[in-house]
């Protein structure tokens, strides 16, 4: 299970300087997307003399190596000895790419529900090809979950981002290396996200629900960092990489169908997932939750070309990997067809 310091709760960003100091760092560079620069500048101001500067050049998704080079050069010139990443999975991903090369520590301040801050998994894109790997070096040394930094996350991003966290929990429940402790965390994550997300999209300023969603995201990230994932993550990786589909939305559309694919093969896990959702059936419960959130339910609505389904099925069945139900080309093709159309699972 990932081991790092975690600070949780409204106002926990106040502890950022102490966390940086605890790591022995004296020149932290704060990294963000241009859209989250206000958070980054606030973090830099809190760090005072320990701030080396702000790099707000992160671009969404998949960490292109050109941008990483730019960020690394900027941080090197500033003499940075620590990366403070403030943002969603894309920003955390940049910190991980830098830490992989330099070994410098990361303090993560997540502002979405992607959960990357709790995993040793990194991803980089070079010449259009996304490479992923695991390395303990990229695991943040401290994570600050301050709900106040998530209040501006609009419902159209918060909903799919929350389902991304749910996907980590769902696949942890039937992982090849599932264990009772991680299952407990994942089940609790499902419960927290299912109760919080409908409130978050309905009342974006509801601090208690936002905090609950962040708690679910923390559990989801912990589950993702602890046990192996299966068909759902494989499909999302394939669709995102080959068709450039948006990350959280792809997870959102595919999850009910990947869950349905495994329905009969993992009955005990499905029963626990359904119970945590407060539904009779896991796949249908997820599909209904997504509907409540007003989030996308069909691949055709998020940029998937209909003539790409065969290629996607080929890619997702090319290399063997663990899944509770054996990977069958015809079944995967059918799953993709259903996800493309947004059919009820």
On whether the CB atoms of residues 219 and 119 are closer than 8 A, the answer is no
User: Contact letters (x/-) for ligand NAD, 185-224, by CB under 6 A?
Assistant: ---------------------------------------x
Window contacting ligand NAD (CB under 6 A); options: 146-154, 171-179, 194-202, 307-315? 146-154
Question: Smaller CB distance to ligand NAD: residue 60 or 264?
Answer: 60
Cα–Cα separations (whole angstroms), residue 101 to 75, 96, 124, 225: 12, 9, 12, 20
Enclosing H/E stretch for 108: strand 106-110
Total binding residues toward ligand NAD, as defined by CB under 6 A: 31
> Cα dihedral angle (322, 328, 329, 332), rounded to 10 degrees?
-70
Window 58 to 77, contacts with ligand NAD (CB under 6 A): 60-62
Looking at residue 229, the DSSP 8-state letter turns out to be -
Q: Nearest approach, Cβ of 90 to ligand NAD (angstroms)? A: 3
User: Contact letters (x/-) for ligand NAD, 5-44, by CB under 6 A?
Assistant: ----------------------------x-xx--------
3 state DSSP class of 81 = coil
Among 12, 161, 230, 338, binds ligand NAD (CB under 6 A): 161
Cα–Cα separations (whole angstroms), residue 25 to 48, 54, 91: 13, 16, 20
Q: Nearest approach, Cβ of 136 to ligand NAD (angstroms)? A: 13
Residues 126, 30: Cα–Cα separation, whole Å: 24
Residues 278, 275: Cα–Cα separation, whole Å: 5
3 state DSSP class of 262 = coil
Window 81 to 140, contacts with ligand NAD (CB under 6 A): 87-91, 93, 111-112, 114-116, 119, 121-123
SS3 sequence of 125-136 = EECCEEEEEECH
On whether the CB atoms of residues 271 and 283 are closer than 8 A, the answer is no
On whether the CB atoms of residues 141 and 107 are closer than 8 A, the answer is yes
Question: Smaller CB distance to ligand NAD: residue 150 or 259?
Answer: 150
Question: Smaller CB distance to ligand NAD: residue 43 or 270?
Answer: 43
Window 222 to 251, contacts with ligand NAD (CB under 6 A): 224, 247-248
Among 102, 148, 152, 343, binds ligand NAD (CB under 6 A): 152
Window contacting ligand NAD (CB under 6 A); options: 12-20, 57-65, 178-186, 194-202? 57-65
Question: Smaller CB distance to ligand NAD: residue 158 or 274?
Answer: 158
Residues 65, 57: Cα–Cα separation, whole Å: 13
User: Which residue of this chain has its Cβ atom nearest to ligand NAD in the complex?
Assistant: 89
Question: Smaller CB distance to ligand NAD: residue 236 or 339?
Answer: 236
Question: Smaller CB distance to ligand NAD: residue 88 or 342?
Answer: 88
Per the DSSP assignment, residues forming a β-bridge with 123 are 132
User: Contact letters (x/-) for ligand NAD, 248-287, by CB under 6 A?
Assistant: x---------------------------------------
Is the sign of the CA dihedral 79, 90, 153, 171 positive or negative?
negative
Give the side-chain half-sphere CA count within 13 A for 151: 12
| Positions in the binding site for ligand NAD (CB under 6 A) | 33, 35-36, 60-62, 87-91, 93, 111-112, 114-116, 119, 121-123, 149-150, 152-153, 157, 161, 164, 224, 247-248
């Amino acid at each position: 299970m990932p081991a790092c310091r975690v600070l949780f709760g409204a106002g926990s960003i106040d502890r950022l300087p102490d966390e940086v100091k605890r790591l022995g760092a004296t020149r932290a560079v704060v990294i963000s997307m241009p859209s989250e620069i206000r958070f980054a500048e606030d973090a830099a101001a809190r760090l005072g003399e320990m701030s080396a500067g702000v790099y707000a050049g992160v671009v969404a998704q998949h960490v292109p190596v050109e941008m990483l080079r730019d960020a690394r050069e900027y941080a090197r010139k500033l003499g940075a000895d620590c990366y403070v990443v403030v943002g969603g999975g894309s920003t955390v991903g940049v910190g991980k790419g830098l830490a992989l090369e330099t070994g410098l520590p990361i303090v993560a301040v997540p502002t979405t529900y992607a959960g990357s801050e709790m995993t040793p998994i990194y991803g980089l894109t070079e010449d259009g090809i996304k490479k992923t790997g695991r390395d303990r070096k990229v695991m943040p040394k401290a994570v600050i979950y301050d709900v106040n930094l998530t209040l501006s996350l609009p419902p159209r991003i918060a909903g799919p981002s929350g389902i991304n966290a749910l996907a980590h929990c769902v696949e942890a429940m039937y992982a090849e290396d599932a264990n009772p402790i991680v299952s407990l965390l994942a089940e609790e994550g499902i419960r927290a996200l299912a109760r919080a997300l409908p409130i978050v999209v309905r009342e974006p300023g509801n601090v208690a629900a936002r905090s609950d969603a962040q708690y679910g995201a923390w559990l989801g990230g912990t589950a993702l960092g602890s046990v192996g994932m299966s068909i759902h993550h494989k499909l999302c990786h394939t669709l995102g990489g080959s068709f450039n589909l948006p990350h959280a939305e792809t997870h959102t559309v595919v999850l009910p169908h990947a869950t349905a694919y495994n329905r009969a093969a993992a009955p005990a896990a499905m029963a626990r997932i359904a119970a945590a959702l407060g539904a009779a059936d896991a796949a249908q419960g997820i599909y209904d939750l997504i509907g409540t959130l007003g989030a996308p339910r069909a691949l055709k609505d998020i940029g998937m070309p209909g003539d790409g389904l065969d290629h996607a099925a080929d890619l997702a069945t090319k290399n063997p990997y663990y899944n509770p139900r054996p990977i069958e080309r015809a079944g995967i093709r059918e799953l993709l067809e259903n996800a493309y159309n947004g059919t009820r699972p």
